[in-house]
Structure 1
Amino acid sequence: MSREEILFAKALKKVNNFLKFSGIYFDEEDINRNAAQRFLSRKFYCFNLLWLALHIIGEFLWAIDGIKTKASIVKLTYLIPGVTLSVLGCCKSYYLVKNGNLVSELIRTIKSLQSEIAISGLKPEIENDLNKRMVILTTVVTANSFLDGCGVAVFVVGPLVLSWLIYNSTGKLVMQLPFLAKFPFDETDIRFWPLAYIHQVWSCAIAVSTVHGPDGFYALSCTFLVIQFKTLQYDIERIIPESEDFALATTQDEFRMRLSRIVRRHLELIRCVDTVEAIFSKSNLCNVAVSSIVICVSAFNILTLGDFFLIPFIAFLIMWTIQVFVLCYYSDLLIESSTDVSDAVYRSKWYTANSAIMKDLLFVLTRAQKPCKLTAAGYVDLNLAVFNKIMSTAWSYFALLHTVYNK
């Protein structure tokens, strides 16, 4: 196996282990199953999805009561990040399982492309770029895992600390929960509190894994597709050696065989990007639509809540910012690396070839000028400009909310 194949297999295994926590995981048999069969084969995931849905319903019911009873804006904004993460987790995991056949097909195609170029081996320039991309990917996954751990830990321990502080000051045992939600029983009663507490803690763990598991696969797929595009550029630049005489028929035939292989790889890469788009476009739309609001509310909570409760929302704010940045960053990389293929054609020694070969190369150059990109269900192209817009909008919302709160 080539170094790229080994790294891909290791990274894929790590992502799959994260997905197994919520019951999603990769399964090669998905390619032969319909959507209903894919869900039925993941009974643990269906259980978790139902569990999380009940938590979301409880939070929405609390929000409705809070609006009716005119609850404070602080309590209402406290609710938003958690319920948004839960809904987004349901959305991302649902589309990943629903499109399980496309996921299996994408993994197979990437492995096939890797094995094809493994014969000649990775060039030093490509291997250095691969190492850099893997460092970035590992850093992103590690940072999100650490922030998730901090946020979940504080949300889990926070109610216990608050209950203890209330008991010390008043002498009354008033049990607290990590999140605001409505239950069909008195959740502050010590007899029922453990059930509500376990339900919310597990819901939080499911929400985190169903968001960052699919995101990990998204980043992994984009990373190795970018490397494939870089390898394609390298091969195109060197498709015309200096020593070849294109007046010879055999030389032209050899060139056309090399070009045919390159064109086929290029088309396969374009199809892979389209597959990633089909898997993630709808969940990306949900992500982009709510990101400005969630970032705004998280920043507002940091300003208004007490010292101890700052920690989970600081972690949440950084985690969500990184999460939406990753979506835009990797799409931006795909746009850049796919359009650079046209530059590779220009950098090749096309001027030494005859008119027929120049015409063939022109077709490759023209097709490569159309970027491969990922979108939010076709409504907006994901790139770093969109990330800047999301952050700018979040700041505007935050300024408005802070002004209203101070009045």
Structure 2
Amino acid sequence: MDKSTLKKNFHTEITFLNYVASKLFLHPRTEGKGNNRNFYGYHLIYSLVWLAIIQLSITLYLYGLKNLIAFTTVAPNVGVCMISALKYSIIYNNKPYYDRFFKHYGEDIWQTIPESKENAKVISKYTFISKVINRVFVCYSLPLVLYVDSFPWLIMKFQTKFLGKEKQLLYPFDGWYPFDKTVWYFAAYSWESLMTGIVVMIYMYSDMINIFSVTSICMEFRILGISLKNLVSDEDIQQMKGKDAEQVNRRIKNDLKTILAKHDVLAGMCKELDQLLGNTMFANYTSGCGFICLTAFTFTVVDDFYQSIRCFFFFLSLLAAVLDHCIIGQIISDHSMQLADAIYSSNWTHADQSTKRTLLILLMRTQKPFELTAKGFVTMDLNTFTDIMSTSYQFFNLLRTCYLPQMGEI
């Protein structure tokens, strides 16, 4: 597969991301046609999310402070809405970063990638991974919105028609209203369905673009590793024994300078991505333990079938959100560390002293992996995920020990 075909396939994923972004008023990123539509659309959605946050905060104040189950049900909803507002604003307010990122992987990188079967294989692999992940997110999120929005109504109908229970009005989430929501049931249900859909779609696109960013960076790490591994070829070793030795060493030095420049670019991109995701990762890290614990506690102790199922799926969603950040942090660290293996695998012993010193400096730099952190507070990786789960389980046991004997009174 030639470079133009590889570029076209990879660019298809960028186009797909931009198409999804346009539905959330996040594209085009730069000034121009459609900018006013995106400006007003963004602020409308952002205002609606904050309206939902205010509504849920009032609900938490009125009911959650008096009732444990009400608190454990409403508090995670407040947190999720606040994180979704944060995710949405970060993507919208960091247009310059995404412009540079898409320009780099849409145009710039293809001018310097050497044509080889190894590089083609790597590009095809990571393009396929991006394609699968993007399609899975979209194909999962749309049915999820439909399911979450229709589930209360389906349960309500099932209980009244098949179980013969008295009709109990159910909603996608429990929110306070300045009017009687039983009288305006369909209005309240429509509002909650709309906000549920918006929050899910914001989470979906934020995860899509973050995973695509990490996948693209990891692809470039692999290509850089191949360049390092092939820095001194077997043919170069043979030519060094002849009169072309000086010319070969000069070319190797130039290739190494190009690799170092690319490594610096990757370092800058990883640093920017870390700063970009820092607030979201910090929010997920600090709130993850509490919300995972609360939802797990609720679905294990509540008697209501609908509340139990809803909290169980909420628990899984929170788990997936934290795991997502930890996985991409782990992956980007692992890929940056693989450059050291590439240096060891190269024929560096045949290079001249100057090249060896430069490779040694690069090797020392690769000993410290690139990381995604929660505002520098903690590195987001699988070890951190284990710590979060351990802490959540401890809080879960504490809640059950302290409050389970009182559940009859609550």
Instruction: Sort the Cα spacing of 1:87 and 1:179 in 2 relative to 1 into closer, same or farther, 3 A.
Output: same
Match of 1:253 among 250, 263, 270: 250
The residue that corresponds to 2:121 in the other structure is 127
Q: How many residues align?
A: 394
Q: Does 1:82 align with 2:85?
A: no
Q: Does 1:210 align with 2:205?
A: no
Q: Does 1:13 align with 2:15?
A: yes
Name the SS of the counterpart of 1:42 in structure 2: helix
The residue that corresponds to 1:267 in the other structure is 264
> Matches of 1:300 and 1:147 in 2, distance apart?
26
Q: 1:59·1:79 contact (CA, 8 Å) conserved in 2?
A: yes
The residue that corresponds to 2:86 in the other structure is 91
The amino acid that maps onto 1:224 is: S
Instruction: Sort the Cα spacing of 1:375 and 1:8 in 2 relative to 1 into closer, same or farther, 3 A.
Output: farther
Question: Per-residue CA shift, 1:75-100, capped at 9, x if unaligned?
Answer: 22121332222111001111111111
Q: 2:240·2:246 contact (CA, 8 Å) conserved in 1?
A: no
TM, length-normalised to structure 1: 0.86
Shifted more, 194-203 versus 242-251: the winner is 242-251
Instruction: Sort the Cα spacing of 1:79 and 1:18 in 2 relative to 1 into closer, same or farther, 3 A.
Output: farther
Instruction: Sort the Cα spacing of 1:385 and 1:174 in 2 relative to 1 into closer, same or farther, 3 A.
Output: closer
Q: 2:145·2:196 contact (CA, 8 Å) conserved in 1?
A: no
The residue that corresponds to 2:219 in the other structure is 227
Question: Per-residue CA shift, 1:247-293, capped at 9, x if unaligned?
Answer: 73322221122112111111111111112112211111111111112
Instruction: Sort the Cα spacing of 1:360 and 1:164 in 2 relative to 1 into closer, same or farther, 3 A.
Output: closer
> Matches of 2:318 and 2:221 in 1, distance apart?
29
Match of 1:367 among 360, 365, 368: 365
> Matches of 1:39 and 1:362 in 2, distance apart?
52
Question: Per-residue CA shift, 1:126-174, capped at 9, x if unaligned?
Answer: 726852784487358626853774476244431564378579645xx76
* Runs of 4+ more than 6 Å apart: 37-40
TM, length-normalised to structure 2: 0.86
The amino acid that maps onto 2:99 is: S
The residue that corresponds to 1:25 in the other structure is 27
Instruction: Sort the Cα spacing of 1:267 and 1:38 in 2 relative to 1 into closer, same or farther, 3 A.
Output: farther
The amino acid that maps onto 1:106 is: F
> Matches of 1:332 and 1:78 in 2, distance apart?
31
Shifted more, 307-316 versus 288-297: the winner is 307-316
The residue that corresponds to 1:288 in the other structure is 285
Q: 1:144·1:319 contact (CA, 8 Å) conserved in 2?
A: no
> Matches of 1:2 and 1:294 in 2, distance apart?
47
Residue 67 of structure 1 deviates from its aligned partner by 4.2
Q: Does 1:193 align with 2:185?
A: yes
Instruction: Sort the Cα spacing of 1:117 and 1:278 in 2 relative to 1 into closer, same or farther, 3 A.
Output: same
The residue that corresponds to 1:379 in the other structure is 377
Q: 2:26·2:38 contact (CA, 8 Å) conserved in 1?
A: no
Q: 2:126·2:216 contact (CA, 8 Å) conserved in 1?
A: no
Instruction: Sort the Cα spacing of 1:3 and 1:277 in 2 relative to 1 into closer, same or farther, 3 A.
Output: farther
Residue 398 of structure 1 deviates from its aligned partner by 1.3
Unaligned 5+ segments in structure 1 are 31-36
Match of 2:98 among 92, 103, 107: 103
- Identity of paired residues, percent? 19
Instruction: Sort the Cα spacing of 1:131 and 1:320 in 2 relative to 1 into closer, same or farther, 3 A.
Output: farther
> Matches of 2:81 and 2:135 in 1, distance apart?
19
Instruction: Sort the Cα spacing of 1:103 and 1:15 in 2 relative to 1 into closer, same or farther, 3 A.
Output: same
Instruction: Sort the Cα spacing of 1:362 and 1:3 in 2 relative to 1 into closer, same or farther, 3 A.
Output: farther
The amino acid that maps onto 1:398 is: F
> Matches of 2:397 and 2:301 in 1, distance apart?
14
Unaligned 5+ segments in structure 2 are 406-410
Question: Per-residue CA shift, 1:348-376, capped at 9, x if unaligned?
Answer: 11111221221122222222222211111
Name the SS of the counterpart of 2:305 in structure 1: coil
Q: Does 1:404 align with 2:399?
A: no
> Matches of 1:111 and 1:262 in 2, distance apart?
19
Residue 203 of structure 1 deviates from its aligned partner by 0.8
> Matches of 1:368 and 1:101 in 2, distance apart?
28
The amino acid that maps onto 2:181 is: E
> Matches of 1:2 and 1:127 in 2, distance apart?
14
How well do the aligned residues superpose, as a CA RMSD in angstroms?
3.0
Residue 61 of structure 1 deviates from its aligned partner by 0.5
Q: 2:343·2:359 contact (CA, 8 Å) conserved in 1?
A: yes
Task: Compare relative contact order (CA 8 Å, sep 6+) and give the higher one, 1 or 2.
Answer: 1
Match of 1:142 among 131, 136, 147: 136
> Matches of 1:404 and 1:175 in 2, distance apart?
31
